[in-house]
Amino acid sequence: MSADGGQVAGVCAERFSAVRDAFVDLFATGQDVGASVAVSLDGDLVVDLWGGFADGDRSRPWERDTIVNVFSSTKTVMALAALVLADRGALDLDAPVARYWPEFGANGKGDVRVRHLLGHTSGLSGWQERITVDDLCDWEKATSLLAAQAPWWEPGTASGYHALTQGFLVGEVVRRITGRTLGRFVAEEVAGPLGADFHIGVGTEHDARVGRVIPAATGLPTDGDWSSLVIRTLANPRFRADDTWAIPWRRAEMPAVNGHGNARAVARIQSVLACGGSVGGRRFLSEAGCAAVFREQANGVDLVLGIPVRFGMGYGLTSPLAPLGPNPRTCFWGGWGGSLVVVDRDARMVVVYVMNRMGEGTLGDTRAFSLVNAAYLALAG
């Protein structure tokens, strides 16, 4: 059925009308400017809604095919791609990174494992050398610097959120194995076969559809005590949300932070994991490949985020301190400003929220959680 509520369009199964109502309320109360929400159940879209405007000037409507930078929600797509490669036997999650990327073994990193990259425990949450946003668009420079430096803590002992570096680390491993960039691997092996409109590295043909994020009043730190792990991670480079408006950012591949898509596209991709590896008659992962997500890599106060986080293989895992749903096999991650991806393996459900008006949080905010809660209420009947 068609969604109502003025600014909101799309389809929503009546069973999930609570999600539609919660989404409409975000616009009615002024919390959102432009956004999309999707719920996939058993591989089928039961909610696919969008609304508002694609820009802060409110001059362009958010259309069905509008895409936007989803920041760290990109990490869920990157992680799925790595899991697909591991499931095929091309990547051993327990192997040293240096097996695939020999230069990485320098400076005491010979025993850093691939799973340490996916679990944010490698000790490489940032760059030792001062870099710029332009350097993030230079794949060879960004990866070479990481290969050369020493870990900032003993790998495998704790998580320290790899906000920007995770994409370069995992992406370079994928490139060494496949000869393809991670963005190309996703396009050819995951998003393309699924018909998912998601891009890590946006081509010129999509420019007219890209919405601009609207920065929050408070951004990331831009300077501080360089001895602080938090500052070295989050203030290097000095980065503002509106840096994502630039064409070089859009064209580059930063698999941890610059994926562009909408809720429908991300839900389609993550339905692979929710449905045990098979969607639309095509198998992307085995049951064992899906189960790998839930191998705990860290469980404690994250050295960068400063909050308790339980990490699995590339995803956050539900826990008493971060209960994303009632089921134990639930994983998630969110993006700076508010986007959120929740994958419930037990319910075979995915909930995704993507927006342009950024909130103050780094891992989702009340807008996303209201939609997730509504989806679970609908599921419970």
Residue of 72, 122, 125, 271 marked catalytic: 72
The CB density around residue 2, as the number of other CB atoms within 10 Å, is 8
Q: Using CB atoms within 10 A of its CB, is residue 195 exposed (0-12), middle (13-18) or buried (19+)?
A: exposed
Supply the DSSP string of 277-340, one letter for each residue: TEETTEE-S-HHHHHGGGS--EEEE-TTT-SEEEE-SSSEE-BTTB--SSSSSEEEEE-TTS-E
User: How would you classify residue 276: left for phi > 0, otherwise alpha for psi between -120 and 50, otherwise beta?
Assistant: left
125 counts as catalytic: no
Q: Which residues of 283-292 are buried (b: 16+ CB within 10 A; e: fewer)?
A: ebbeeebbeb
161: number of Cβ within 10 Å:
24
Question: What SS3 class is residue 76?
Answer: helix
Q: Are the CB atoms for 72 and 334 separated by under 8 Å? A: yes
- Going from the C-alpha of 40 to that of each of 13, 45, 52, the distances in angstroms are 11, 4, 22
| Residues annotated as catalytic (active site), given as ranges | 72
